[in-house]
A = this chain, B = another copy of it.
Amino acid sequence: MSIDRFSPKARLADTGEGITTDELHLAARNHGMPLEALRYDLTPPGLHYVLVHYDIPMTTAGNWRLTVDGCVEQPISFGLTELRAMGRQTVRVTLECAGNGRASLQPRPISQPWLMEAVGTAEWTGVPLADLLAAAGVRADAVDVVFTGADHGIERGVEQDYQRGLSVTEALESGAIVAWEMNGLPLPPQHGYPLRLVVPGWYGMASVKWLRSIELIDHEFTGYQNAVAYRIRTEADEPGTPVTRIEPRALMIPPGHPDFMSRHRFVTAGEIVLQGRTWSGWAPVDRVEVSTDAGVTWYDAELDAPSNDDLAWRSFTYSWTATPGEHVLTCRAHDRSGRVQPVEAPWNRGGFANNTAQRLTVLVR
């Protein structure tokens, strides 16, 4: 029995090939945030995007242990009660899946077929990762920090617990927290109950769910999710560059009302306030432009005051006088690092970090 049939290699869709059954299986399990939920400052439970690589593991809070070991002065193991005694911090974080936008690429990388909804913003409460590392004592020989979850599966032939590494510097300086609450309630099962990592500004793959181990190692981590998956490549056999922070993006709430099947939009002519959210994992967004003629002319949107959490989304509005006919609405974000959201992002084999600008076709009547 070849494992290839059960755990296929990565491939690109053929020209004109529709979404496959394998992709549909992933789309039926994982879900995006319906774009009208951009109206909420904090994404309500069940609307925040979720991507689970394997199965949601069966976990209990009572006997949960998190170990911190490896290149530390003193290995430590925490139960949840001990963790709570270490401190309590709440951070507002916009998380986005690294594969968001993948299904719109040509050719399409075969994987979780996200359109553009794989995003959400929540308040995560837990203890700063830096405090846990300080409690264990980071040794001078530590290079990378490896986070291991309780979820287990096979990916492209490699059996694994889900694991991701960060450099010691990233782990200490990213503002990451080890969280047990989402929006003031215990984590839902699909978001990592009872404990997860949250790394602000990074694509979601860094925020390991069902976190049970933090190991400091004296060399670069070369596990599957860092070295094989989540790399930007144009050729299959090149090493590629790692996927890290979230590229700038702006998304509008689709105005008017939809057709059920096509999701096309119908809008009544007149003054309409287009609303949306914008974020970047590199630096705060300080400008959003909107176009109502498919990108021929652009106008600045109004941005609300930034929140205290620089990397969480901000809201923007743009007043549009909608005239009868078909219109293509689009928008793009600029952040303080100088990054500008492209009208068309460069293609890559894994379909990662695709922040191509949203295009919304509406029929004004």
Question: A interface vs B, CB < 8 Å?
Answer: 1, 5-8, 17-32, 34, 36-37, 39-40, 44-48, 50, 52-56, 58, 103, 110-111, 113-115, 117, 152-156, 159, 188-191, 254, 257-264, 266, 325-326, 363
Residues of B within 8 A of A44 (CB): 188-190
Contact B39 A257 (CB under 8 A): no
Residues of B within 8 A of A153 (CB): 257-260
Residues of B within 8 A of A103 (CB): 24
Given A37-B189, A189-B44, is A110 in contact with B20 using a C-beta cutoff of 8 Å?
no
Contact B8 A261 (CB under 8 A): yes
Residues of B within 8 A of A18 (CB): 17-20
Q: Which of these, B28, B40, B154, B325, contacts A257 with CB under 8 Å?
A: B154
A sample of 27 cross-chain residue pairs with beta-carbon separation below 8 angstroms, ordered by A number, consists of: A1-B325, A1-B363, A6-B259, A6-B363, A7-B264, A8-B262, A19-B20, A19-B23, A24-B27, A24-B103, A27-B28, A28-B31, A29-B263, A30-B31, A34-B52, A37-B189, A44-B189, A46-B46, A46-B50, A46-B191, A47-B190, A110-B261, A152-B257, A154-B259, A154-B260, A156-B261, A159-B266
Contact B188 A266 (CB under 8 A): no
Which 4 A-B pairs give the minimum distances between C-beta atoms?
A: A18-B18, A46-B46, A31-B31, A19-B19
New A-B contacts (6) at CB < 8 Å, excluding given A34-B56, A40-B189: A8-B261, A18-B20, A19-B20, A31-B31, A54-B257, A111-B261
Residues of B within 8 A of A156 (CB): 260-261
Contact B36 A56 (CB under 8 A): yes
Best-buried of A7, A19, A260, A325 by chain B (most CB within 10 Å): A260
Best-buried of A29, A155, A257, A264 by chain B (most CB within 10 Å): A29
Residues of B within 8 A of A22 (CB): 261-263
A36 CA / B19 CA spacing, docked (Å): 24
A364 and chain B: residue at smallest CB distance: B1
Q: Which of these, B37, B54, B58, B113, contacts A39 with CB under 8 Å?
A: B58
Q: Which of these, B48, B154, B191, B259, contacts A258 with CB under 8 Å?
A: B154
A254 CA / B56 CA spacing, docked (Å): 12
Residues of B within 8 A of A47 (CB): 46, 188-190
Residues of B within 8 A of A363 (CB): 1, 6
A1 CA / B46 CA spacing, docked (Å): 37
